[in-house]
Amino acid sequence: MMISLPGAAYAHGTCRFTVWAPEKKRMVLHLVAPNEREVEMVPDMTGYFHVTVPDVPPGTRYFFRPDGGHDTPDVASQYQPDDVHGASYVVDHDAFVWQDHHWHGLPMESLVLYELHVGTFTPEGTFDAIIPRLDDLAATGINALELMPVAQFAGTRNWGYDGVYPYAVQHSYGGPDGLKRLVDACHQRGIAVFLDVVYNHLGPEGNYFRAYAPYFTDAYRVPWGDAVNFDQAWSDGVREYFINNALYWFHHFHIDGLRLDAIHMVFDTSCVHLWQALQEAVKRLSQHVGRPLHLVAESDLNSPKVVTAPAAAGYGFDGQWLDDFHHALYALLHADGKMRYEDYCGGIAPLAKAYAEGFVLTGDYAIFRKRKYGASSAGIPGNRFVVFTMNHDQVGNRVRGERLSVLLDHSRLKLAAAAILLAPYVPMLFMGEEYADETPFLYFVSFRDPTLLQAVRRGRKEELGRFLAGGEPEDPAAEATFRKSVLQWHRRQEGRHAVMLRWHRALLDLRRMCITPDSFTRGVTQVLTFGEAGIMLYGRGSQQGSWLCLLNFSPQPATVCIPGEGLAWRKLLDSHEPGWQEEVTGGLQAPVAALSAENITVGALSVVVYRGYAAGGR
């Protein structure tokens, strides 16, 4: 399957250059290294300029000159080794020798995602530095990396959401070959790779899009910059640019899935919505390569249409982040949940609804939004939702960038881990979460424009607003802010961190046993509550037998009536056993065995997991 891409397409000693500039009368290609020359480009009827140039080796630096003006980097550049204002670079994608021919991908229901920021995951901050840690992640039970955006941004420090070259891999991370080496190494270990991409806006520094075409529109507004033009005049070329970008990552980098940032901030009134067109293009490529290619959305809509098929008037995403689950869980775990998530503070009921249906707010009046919000997702299977206790936003948008490992005690941390890892959803951990890393994850940038830096500092204070009572946020532009955010990987073998690492491994072992493909069908995993104390997840008669997870969020022991009929239950895991404690001694432990309809007592703030057998068969 041929993929037509903008920019520089190298093959066998020649390079075809393509740039979309429908309102320009002239375009000059300026090759600057290793040999300098200027080449006039030829327009076509669709607004593209093309030229094929022989004797252009990989690594050639080039600019375009719209209407014969100044040297301007290619907005479809595939590598910017000299940062955002430097020359663009010709990449030979066929030069990389892949070793992942055995790789056939993973279905959504088998994924255990691990979100990481390349720059802070290791002291080196590169793709290659991640590779030696993959075996540890795989041994923990993690089988999918989700990389925060790697599209080229200004400088060397950024979360990635200020990228201005959506096709170029960040130079300070290791460029395109570095990303390919990481993906190849992951696939050899059975680990899928997802990539976070941003199609709702582009960053401020090094943004040359207006020099070429109407990529932006004033018809809509987004919080982070100019709205991208997906439905106004000249929008066809913009749509092609971003749809081809998704195909580019799948085709040239063997990426397994894309997480699309804030899809609710993409505005499109076209007959065929951008998301439908993208889904159809990716589906065709998936059929061609013979492996699943996933699209996962971040959406603020609480709308089931995000993961509903286009044939049923949906967008067709394979999954979406389930923020409601996070908010309901956080409100039970931390005292400031009432301030942060007041719409989710109804005791155990919001979390029970999140488990049973997905969205918690389903047409209810939302205090935060001052209007009715959301629609029911009760019919959507669980493998369409990604759940988490932390992600880059939830940690990084705190004034001090605190993780749950700093905010919660040991018992509540274990509860939080079990709540997502034994849920009939797709779980996601945030880097370092598996061993309770205490490093903050702060917001950082390395823009060079002093006016822009001041605007970032001011905007950060305004965004955090009511949470600034504890002091000023760290300076986003300071290198020290970035350095404070680098993981302390060595801690995973020390004290409570080692206990939490073993806890996550044990939970993921249980997940493989208990959460089978049929678990994601609504109703197969029954969601019950015991008073206002906790939640029971009851997997009835799965391929591995019945299973029961008891989550007691109360600071007091709780009495639970064991569900089921004619079953004998044997305990598999109890968070109050001494091996899971920070100290040598444990707390009140649940019975080792129980029968259906029997009342048992579980410890305060505890997790207990049972396996069910036919009575007399244990």
Place of tokens 């970032």: 456
Known catalytic residue: 128? no
Given the DSSP bridges, would you call strands 113-116 and 144-147 parallel, antiparallel or unpaired?
Answer: parallel
Residue numbers in the chain where pLDDT is lower than 70? 1-3, 468-470, 541-544, 584-586, 616-618
Helix ranges (DSSP H) in 268-322:
274-289
| Cis amide linkage into residue 563, ω under 30° from 0 | no
Contacts of 59 (CB under 8 A, 6+ apart): 34, 89, 90
- What is the pLDDT, as a whole number, of residue 543? 53
pLDDT, tens digit, for every residue of 295-332?
A: 999 999 999 999 999 999 999 999 999 999 999 999 99
Known catalytic residue: 298? yes
Paired tokens of 379 = 């019919």
Q: Which of 146, 240, 261, 324 is catalytic?
A: 261
Question: In angstroms, rounded to a whole number, what is the distance separating the alpha carbons of residues 100 and 81?
Answer: 27
Q: Which of 298, 343, 434, 574 is catalytic?
A: 298
- What is the pLDDT, as a whole number, of residue 618? 47
Question: In angstroms, rounded to a whole number, what is the distance separating the alpha carbons of residues 192 and 144?
Answer: 4
pLDDT, tens digit, for every residue of 71-126?
A: 999 999 999 999 999 999 999 999 999 999 999 999 999 999 999 999 999 999 99
pTM of the model: 0.97
Which phi-psi region, left, alpha or beta, contains residue 466 (left: φ > 0; alpha: ψ -120 to 50)? alpha
CA 356, 357, 359, 362 dihedral sign is negative
The answer to whether the CB of 194 falls within 8 A of the CB of 113 is yes
Angle at 544 between CA 538 and CA 550, to 5 degrees: 25
